[in-house]
Chain A
């Protein structure tokens, strides 16, 4: 944990401290990363973002703003945005602080596997939340 925090800049963070931009819709939030990093055209970057949402059947949230989404949908967009980043490893810090309810976490984890094909994903969670996860695995028969 300490080693990871020391080298935090090498990792792409998903946490409550890296929220979505409120003045952009979901497509624009995801597309922003390739537009800035790779100078991808807006049309192409938005196509990439749209495809990413289509993979998990969430195309309907593409033009919505953050306040119109639930926690799980926000989490998906955070992941889709992080996957656009060039860094190899994504660190999800305290997912429960974003998702709020443990039952959402199980659904989110399944879709995370669909969205992510090649990147390493590290999940950091407070030890105090351990029982939530134990409950979740038992509840879902994992």
Chain B
């Protein structure tokens, strides 16, 4: 009984370690292919263009509305709290830190995960079950170059650029609140923000966008690839992929907080 338990634990540990190294190998392969110019063939570039369109252009109207809505509300809350705690002098840096370093990349990552992460996971899983991945292998078409790389690069570009758009809209709509609540004119608001923004805030926004974009596409792709050859495995694959993705997003968020606190 005890021996069986130990065997079970050992077996599970070995499997987890093997899976971890397999995932690392996959990440390494994707990054390597990203750096090889030969990966960027005409078909890949076409898929990349389409992916960027679907991921970042298609979502723009809804995204802008949400940024405006959440922007004015959340900046309003931040300003009210800062006023309550007599932090009016630091309002600029509080808003900049909150919007650029935390909220914009995180909210964009969540939105793109829900929209594109699930779509990518399902698409790869369906292609796997329908043996379309087998077709690509049979015709010597590299899966990483043709299927995965465009999605990963598009994710990185889209999340980063949408985070910047989100931050700009959020800061702009935040002005409405300062205008009505604090009677602050546009010039003062502009100076407040420009005086508070530092280069590391912009670097953090870009780095977080790139990191989020990478995991938002890579984890669903990997999860889709692991789907067994049956249609009933597709929802399980999406479910597992999304759970892992949200864990990864929170890990990146925690890691960025640790880096900022150093």
Contact = CB atoms under 8 A, between A and B. Distances in A.
Interface of A: 12-13, 17-23, 32-33, 35-37, 39-42, 45, 81, 85
| Interface size grouping (class) on chain B | 20 to 34
Contact of B43 (A13, A23, A42, A85): A42
Nearest to B44: A36
B115 interface: no
A23 B123 contact: yes
A35 B139 contact: no
Contacts of B134: 17-18
A88 to B, nearest CB: 14
B106 interface: no
A85 B145 CA distance: 18
Interface in B31-66: 41-44, 46
Nearest to A43: B42
Given A39-B42, A40-B42, A41-B42, A32 B141 contact: yes
A20 B135 contact: yes
Interface string B104-148: 000000000000000000010011001110111011111001100
Among A22, A36, A85, residue most surrounded by chain B Cβ atoms (within 10 Å): A36
Nearest to B43: A35
Contacts of B123: 23
A23 B145 CA distance: 17
Given A19-B132, A21-B132, 11 more contacts: A12-B139, A18-B135, A22-B127, A22-B130, A35-B42, A35-B43, A36-B146, A37-B140, A39-B41, A41-B42, A81-B139
Interface of B: 41-44, 46, 123, 126-127, 130-132, 134-136, 138-142, 145-146
26 contacts: A12-B138, A12-B139, A17-B134, A18-B134, A18-B139, A19-B132, A19-B135, A21-B135, A21-B136, A22-B126, A22-B127, A32-B43, A32-B139, A32-B146, A33-B139, A35-B43, A36-B41, A36-B44, A36-B139, A36-B140, A36-B145, A37-B140, A39-B41, A40-B42, A42-B46, A81-B139
Contact of A85 (B41, B139, B142, B146): B139
A41 B45 CA distance: 11
Given A23-B123, A36-B146, A18 B43 contact: no
B193 to A, nearest CB: 43
A131 B235 CA distance: 42
Contacts of A18: 131, 134-135, 138-139
Nearest to A78: B135
Contacts of A85: 139
B124 to A, nearest CB: 11
Contact of A36 (B43, B130, B131, B138): B43
B144 to A, nearest CB: 12
Contacts of B131: 17-19
